[in-house]
Amino acid sequence: MNVINKPVECKVITPIISKSLNFSVNGSPSYKIYHFELRPQSIKGVLHFWFRAIAPRVIDIYTLNFHNIADKDERKKLEKLYEKEKYKGLKFLESMIFGSQNEKAPFGLIVKYDQGDTAPIDSIRLDNKKEKSEPDLVLKKLSYPLYGTYYTSKSNPKDNFVCSCLKPESTFELKFFVKDELTWNVIYSLLKIVSVLSGFGAKTTKGFGQFEIINDKDFHREKYTNLFEIEKLISQVEEALTDYIKEYDKNKLIEFGKIDVSDFPNLTDDAFKFFGPIATGTQWHDIMSKLYYVSRSSKGWYRQLKFDLRKLNQEKTPKFDVVKNLIECLEGRLKQVEISPAILGMPLQYQRLESNKINKITFYPKVPGEIKNRGRKPSPLRIIINKSGKEYAAYGLLLKSKITNDEELIYDISSDFNAKLTTTFDQLSGKIEKSINKGGRSH
């Protein structure tokens, strides 16, 4: 079999952030700088995520037609392999495209970039006035979306670190090796979805890691700023998957047909919404500042959205506000609280609470099967930074998915109250549209 070489040249729009295992020590006080690394496995993981998001538009992800296998022993073997699998059709197609323990993937890739285009996201300095170490953020208004990519502690300075990134305007190459054009059509159509709706590295839901493909004269990322064009791009993936299945599913085990699913993020008709533009500007970091800054008198768009969620579903509560009602619970005056901002992602931490008993509390989603039942849930609202000429604009993609089990949240303190999340995606969508209409437009 002749392997086909497919190079893809890309340009970074917003910093691609990563934290490799390797680091160097720098500065006074000293801190770790984790080196940048963009690995093929990470690229495959992102492609896999968006494959799962689109597959329910093409196949019945729950079903496999075992009866189509004529050989009795082969049929029983496959039935046993999938007997405990909920998403039989999805898992079978996944193994065909991305490989499994029993099957080699029909593609591979190499990632190439110039180490000279990488740099720490920032430096750390010692602030003597405040007697603490803190990030010396050149882009000070971005500390909120960069949270977790740096760490500072006066008491444990040896633990201080910053991550590194591949800088905006730099380029990288994804060199794919595929077995045929049908495989390539699937992989490349997914890569275009990643370029338009996502990115690589850490903090992609906050707008980092975004890139454009620059060696395809027929594909222009800036075109995809409305739902009509995005739907056409999704259709390319559907067509590529359909052709692939027809060629390689010889026993016709996979059942075609669009299926509604709510257990994981997906792009079926009623499972996502696209918003924007939310904010515009001449630099990518200007856009992010407009989204994430906070001052005594005002907040950026995203911070304001999260603040507004504090009052959602609080009409019949004593304080009409999540945080104030949470303090009531901590003080023992209230037995239940709705944590509506948790719909924008968890763990969700509240600190510097004005409570006499507890100053900090973290909420986790109740997710069966997770270690200690404490999973992580990324924000279902993805920020997309697009560029057209010299102008930048921010858009939002809302992906519906199950947030928690039985509406319950869990936390790490000994207090006798119940925390829940009943806020819906329709409520969140309404808040997003309302907040955009205050200063922008909504598609």
pLDDT at 18: 93
Confidence of residue 156 (pLDDT cuts 50, 70, 90): confident
**How many residues belong to the chain?**
443
Q: What is the mean pLDDT of residues 330-352?
A: 93
Among 80-84, 145-149, 171-175, the range with the most confident prediction by mean pLDDT is 171-175
Of the candidates 324, 381, 320, the one whose C-alpha atom is nearest the C-alpha of residue 350 is 324
Euclidean distance between CA atoms 309 and 312, whole angstroms:
5
DSSP SS3 for 442 = coil
pLDDT at 178: 97
Does the structure show a pLDDT above 60 at 383? yes
Q: pLDDT tens digit string along 246-259?
A: 999 999 999 999 99
Does the structure show a pLDDT above 50 at 380? yes
Q: What is the mean pLDDT of residues 190-201?
A: 98
Residues 6+ apart with CB under 8 A from 247: 182
Does the structure show a pLDDT above 80 at 129? no
pLDDT at 64: 96
Does the structure show a pLDDT above 60 at 356? yes
Q: Are 41 and 245 in contact (CB under 8 A)?
A: no
Q: What is the mean pLDDT of residues 261-272?
A: 93
Name beta bridge partners: 362: 349
Confidence of residue 221 (pLDDT cuts 50, 70, 90): very high
pLDDT at 131: 42
Q: What does pLDDT average to over the chain?
A: 90
Of the candidates 397, 335, 345, 334, the one whose C-alpha atom is nearest the C-alpha of residue 375 is 345
A 10 A CB-CB count for 252 gives: 12
Q: What is the DSSP letter of 173?
A: E
pLDDT at 174: 98
Q: What is the mean pLDDT of residues 374-387?
A: 90
Q: What is the mean pLDDT of residues 47-69?
A: 97
Does the structure show a pLDDT above 60 at 389? yes
Residues 6+ apart with CB under 8 A from 310: 321, 322, 323, 340, 341
pLDDT at 441: 39
Helix ranges restricted to H, 169-259: 181-197, 227-248
Does the structure show a pLDDT above 90 at 94? yes
pLDDT > 90 fraction of the chain, expressed in percent and rounded:
72
pLDDT at 76: 94
Return the structure tokens found at 57: 């538009």
Lowest-pLDDT range of 107-121, 319-333, 358-372, 376-390: 358-372
Confidence of residue 147 (pLDDT cuts 50, 70, 90): confident
Q: What is the mean pLDDT of residues 362-376?
A: 77
Return the structure tokens found at 216: 């395809």
Inter-CA distances, 92 with 75, 79, 254, Å: 14, 12, 8
Q: Locate tokens 């968006």: which residue?
A: 50
Euclidean distance between CA atoms 369 and 62, whole angstroms:
20
